[in-house]
Amino acid sequence: MAALICSDASGPIGSQGVLQLALSGRLPSPRLFDICSDQIRALRSRMLVRAIIDKSIRAVLLKMGNSVRDIDIKTDQNRPAALYDRFQADQDVGSSFAYPTDLRALPPASLDGVARHEYELADATLMARAPEHFTHSIAWT
């Protein structure tokens, strides 16, 4: 049976003053589109997670912004605290997650940070959610 690995790389659109801008009629159109897109993405993610829980599909959802420590906490994984030093630091995960996306090439340092975050996110999530297929972790080098 085939399985699905889905990645949600969407960042938070933030809520600083959105309500005040909307009520005053000064919410710029691109911002309004961002809010609508965010709501649609959240709905689709909830639908996918529900299908995973119901076991109607075999899948995992990779949610950017989660550190290895976050994944371990959410999935009740027990890992010695000293091992977390081998993974990208939580603040670096946050920086990678918050990096703005556009059509320009990322600087090498930023690209390395984002790539490492994605790699560790996939590795930890697959190890926790599909241990029968992903039996051991492969460290980022």
pLDDT digits (tens, 9 = 90+) for 8-36: 776 555 544 555 655 666 655 665 566 67
What residue ranges do the domains of the chain occupy? 1-63, 65-141
What is the pLDDT averaged over residues 60-89? 92
Cα-based distances in Å from 109 to 104, 106, 118:
14, 8, 14
Q: Are 120 and 88 in contact (CB under 8 A)?
A: yes
Q: What phi, psi does 8 have (nearest 5°)?
A: -110, 100
3-state SS class at 60: strand
Whole-model pTM over 0.75:
no
